[in-house]
Amino acid sequence: MSEPLRRRAILAGIGTYLPEKIVSNAEMAERVDTSDEWIVERTGIRQRHFAGRHETCAFMGAAAARGALATAGVAPEDVGAIILATSTPDQAFPSTAVHVQGMLGAKNAFGFDIAAACSGFIYGLGIADGMIRSGQADHILVIGSEVYSRILNFADRGTCVLFGDGAGAVLLSARDVAADGPGILSTHLHSDGTLADILYVDGAVGQPDKPGHLVMNGREVFRHAVTLLASAVNEALTANGITSKDIDWLVPHQANRRIIDGVGRKLGMPQERVVVTVDQHANTSAASIPLALAQAINDGRIKPGQLVLLEALGGGLTWGSALLRL
């Protein structure tokens, strides 16, 4: 008797957008008292992209989404929902997702933004996975798009060297598959609002002192990051009855090379199976995972059928993991 099929959200397409302007560590050192050596040693970052005026959150998100639709061979009219994760939306409302919908001509979709800082893409995958499994939509765009250069305090060398701008998008499509077939296998989402004061933006459109700058207690974030990320990763392994040896690729949120290496070591993952792009993009928050995932798929490292574990942590604190088979 043949095995029953189950409805899953498969990764049907992926696309990215990076702003034209690349800013090296040496150029950052012209703006603040820092050096290439300090930044590389503490973070692994070598350069970042900074958006020009026309490269808004919606512009970049739409560009990445077009790439995802093109690789999937799906028309904009067939998209059922657009979920966009960002901390730097074009406007308080309409949501950036709705602007992207208009730019794409995805007239049959509904769209909304989610605010989960650097964990936004994982949160988006979790929401989209639930919507696809429940039959609410057949094709969902999950987009991370960020222009952190607009909220960085360029007088604070402890934060402004760490972040960059960019966008990444995936198209998730419903497919009936066997147990060992492709698709999102699980997502695990967490937050702890008692840690809100270690990484935040000190303003918003609803506040008198808008728009605000990013503020971070780097040491405290670092202290929590490796432990919480390792716990989210272990949660995914336990829920799926597997060990880290079964994982082909770890695609972590790209905040800091030392955090990435710390989680990799805790997991026992060899460095060759961990995708790292923080050196090229710095921390692009909700965009960092789809940017890294796209690079490793497009250069042929991640292959169809392989098991990929994603993990992220960000302001909130928020954190989580997603396991998917390509």
Task: Tell me which of 42, 46, 224, 301 binds ligand COA, using CB under 6 A.
Answer: 42
Cα 146-105-55 angle, rounded to 5 deg: 30
Other beta carbons within 10 Å of 153: 16
Q: Could you tell me which of 111, 113, 117, 116 has the C-alpha nearest to residue 139?
A: 111
Tokens of 320: 């989580």
222 is a contact residue toward ligand COA (CB under 6 A): yes
Q: Between residue 148 and residue 207, which ones bind ligand COA under the rule CB under 6 A?
A: 157-158, 161
What is the DSSP code string of 137-161?
Answer: -SEEEEEEEEEGGGT--TT-HHHHT
State which of positions 113-142 bind ligand COA (CB under 6 A).
Answer: 118
Alpha-carbon gap, residue 317 to 199, rounded angstroms: 8
Catalytic residue (choose from 118, 139, 188, 256): 118
Nearer to ligand COA among residue 95 and residue 284 (C-beta) = 284
Strand segments, DSSP code E, in 29-177 are 47-50, 81-85, 110-114, 139-147, 165-177
Residue 234 annotated among the catalytic residues of the structure: no
Residue type, 114: I
Q: Which one of residues 183, 314, 316, 320 is an interface residue with ligand COA (CB under 6 A)?
A: 314
Q: Which of 49, 139, 253, 281 is catalytic?
A: 253
CA distance 295 to 284: 14
Name the residue nearer to ligand COA (CB basis): 80 or 290: 290
Tell which residue, 214, 228, 84, has the closest CA to residue 144: 84
- CB of residue 93 vs ligand COA: minimum separation in angstroms? 25
Catalytic residue list contains 160: no
SS3 assignment, position 79 = coil
**Phi and psi for 64 in degrees, rounded to 5?**
-65, -40
Q: Is 221 in the site for ligand COA (CB under 6 A)?
A: yes
Size of the site for ligand COA (CB under 6 A): 20
Annotation marks residue 99 as catalytic:
no
Please identify, using beta-carbon distances, which residue of 118 and 174 lies nearer to ligand COA.
Answer: 118
Q: How far apart are CA 122 and CA 170, in angstroms?
A: 12
Q: Is 112 in the site for ligand COA (CB under 6 A)?
A: no
Taking the complex as a whole, how short is the minimal distance between the CB of residue 222 and ligand COA, in angstroms? 4
Site residues, ligand COA (CB under 6 A): 34, 38-39, 42-43, 118, 157-158, 161, 216, 218-219, 221-222, 255-256, 259, 283, 313-314
Hey, which residues are catalytic here? 118, 253, 283
